[in-house]
Amino acid sequence: MPADIPGFVQQIQRLFPRIMRYLEAEASRELIGLEVTPAQMNALVVLYEPKNLPMGELADSLGLTESAATRLVDRLLRMNLVRRDRDEVDRRVVRVRLSTYGRQLADLVFQRRQEQFTRFAERLREEQRSNLVEGLTALLTVFQDLEHESRTANNTFQES
């Protein structure tokens, strides 16, 4: 197992695309029968935890422009999966939250997802599971650091 940097980079470039392709296919599979697209489910997942989110923050969380988020919410609204209300304090902002039906749908998908990931987990040895969790945790930390650094770099640039 080459753990030097060039070897690591080579391995990781081979592994990640395949794993991502599989996980994306899996994400589509878990939506079978529910009349929802992956993009729409992503939005429901982001909206699951908070009571409600301003349009802009929803867009950020999804990595979309605000216009794309507006349109996405338009469709979710037509399907009765979310509610959209103007903020009473700052009437520029529009707040989005899950409808009862939207929450039920998200719950169902979470359940399917959990069953599927459990199936994966059962085929891994305990050591492999902990390697995975520790490795991914470290990687995510790196990503978050880089994101934070580039954001603050941008800000100082704009402020100067």
Binding site for a copy of itself (CB under 8 A): 1, 3-6, 8-9, 11-13, 15-25, 45, 63, 113-114, 117-140, 142-143, 145-147
CA–CA separation, 120 and 12 (whole Å):
20
> Six-digit token pair at 113?
């997802």
Q: Which of 93, 103, 110, 116 binds DNA (CB under 7 A)?
A: 93
CA–CA separation, 69 and 112 (whole Å):
26
82 binds, among a copy of itself, DNA, none (CB under 5 to 8 A by kind): none
Nearer to a copy of itself, 51 or 125 (CB): 125
CA–CA separation, 102 and 43 (whole Å):
10
CA–CA separation, 32 and 112 (whole Å):
11
Helix (H, G, I), strand (E, B) or coil at 46: helix
> Six-digit token pair at 71?
């349109």
Q: Which of 44, 46, 47, 72 binds DNA (CB under 7 A)?
A: 72
91 binds DNA (CB under 7 A): yes
93 binds, among DNA, a copy of itself, none (CB under 5 to 8 A by kind): DNA
17 binds, among DNA, a copy of itself, none (CB under 5 to 8 A by kind): a copy of itself
Q: Which of 31, 45, 64, 108 binds DNA (CB under 7 A)?
A: 64
Calculate the dihedral angle through the C-alpha atoms of 130, 135, 141, 143, rounding to the nearest 10 degrees. Answer: -140
Residues that bind DNA (rule: CB under 7 A) add up to a total of 31
CA–CA separation, 8 and 24 (whole Å):
24
- Which residues here bind DNA, judged by CB under 7 A? 37-40, 54-57, 62-75, 84, 87, 89-95
